[in-house]
Homo-oligomer: A and B are copies of this chain.
Amino acid sequence: MAVIYEKVALIGLGLIASSMAHAMRQRGLAGQIVGHAKSAESRAAALELGFCDAVFATAAQAVAGADLVVLAVPVGVMAAIAAEIGPHLKPGATVTDVGSVKQAVIDMVAPHMPAGVHFIPGHPIAGTEHSGPRSGFATLFDNRWWLLTPEGADAGAVARLRALCEGMGANVEEMDAAHHDLVLAVTSHTPHLIAYTMVGVADDLRRVTDSEVIKYSAAGFRDFTRIAASDPTMWRDVFLTNKDATLEILGRFTEELFALQRAIRKGDGAHLHAYFTRTRAIRRGIIEAGQDTDAPDFGRGSGAKLGPKPGTKQGGDAA
């Protein structure tokens, strides 16, 4: 593929930024990739792994001369970063972000963008429970959706950013920021909060020892723990900045949960069976849409392949 942006600056060097760099390199979409991370260790990792050509100790230095600037930091620090880089952006540059909420990012970043710079908020619906510069890989975005909320940005600049996302393997969709935030409250933010809660409850219970919760986790609980292992800072910021939509969906969730709880208490098997039958169809739709595998247990394979036997230790760190 042809180079789409001559110079790309990645601000933040975590899972998403490092995966973008790997994907851009593998497919020849960027001439030069530079980066900034607050942590010296992350900057060193980016050079060691070779996904950045140069790294800088400040965001302001990193964005100098860049045709595309990607804000890949927790939503809570977007405002400070935007304020810092604003005066250093190249005229005509495009700035995008990869935050999981969009209206709050727009409120934080847009005021700091100089005239002549194209700010096009974005959100790749991709990720894993791992974080940091060493967790990225080039195929993270393959067949995933990349949402843009351009809200009146220059059409040419939007088309160029779209080409980059598609070049990295993603399917691109445009929508408005408020709708994005509601949809994601359903498909992501509320499920994460619920998973965090359930794992916290299990951790709290003293009559059920930690060891038992872990040993018997294959009964369903382990899927929740994967979600609840996601980056705490990122998720704190998501809930603080997508408050209204999350609280609305949580309200709906609680209402439904209470109805099912009452059905259990009253022994209303018909209500439970009807509810559980309805939810199967949604799973089928997700598999047909290519957004998950049909293999049992996500293709985890047999238990024997999963990891060491109890009592042994494993190297590495998922976080």
Contacts and interface: CB of A to CB of B under 8 A. Distances in A.
A45 interface: no
Interface string A248-272: 0110111011001100110101001
Given A173-B215, A200-B256, A232-B273, 7 more contacts: A183-B208, A186-B201, A186-B213, A193-B257, A239-B272, A289-B310, A290-B307
Interface of A: 76, 100, 125-130, 135, 137, 139-145, 147, 169, 171, 173, 182-184, 186-188, 190-205, 207-208, 210, 212-230, 232-233, 235-237, 239-240, 243, 246-247, 249-250, 252-254, 256-257, 260-261, 264-265, 267, 269, 272-273, 275-280, 282-294, 296-310, 312-314, 316-319
A169 B303 CA distance: 9
A282 B139 contact: no
B216 A187 contact: yes
26 contacts: A125-B218, A137-B296, A139-B304, A143-B306, A182-B208, A183-B208, A187-B212, A191-B198, A193-B264, A194-B194, A203-B278, A204-B256, A205-B252, A215-B291, A222-B292, A228-B276, A232-B280, A283-B318, A284-B319, A287-B307, A288-B308, A288-B312, A290-B307, A290-B312, A291-B307, A298-B299
Q: How many copies does the complex hold?
A: 2
Main secondary structure of the interface of A (DSSP, over half): helix
A273 B183 CA distance: 23
A186 B208 contact: yes
A274 to B, nearest CB: 8
A114 to B, nearest CB: 30
Contact of A198 (B169, B190, B202, B214): B190
B183 A212 contact: yes
Contacts of A229: 279-280, 283-284
B125 A216 contact: yes
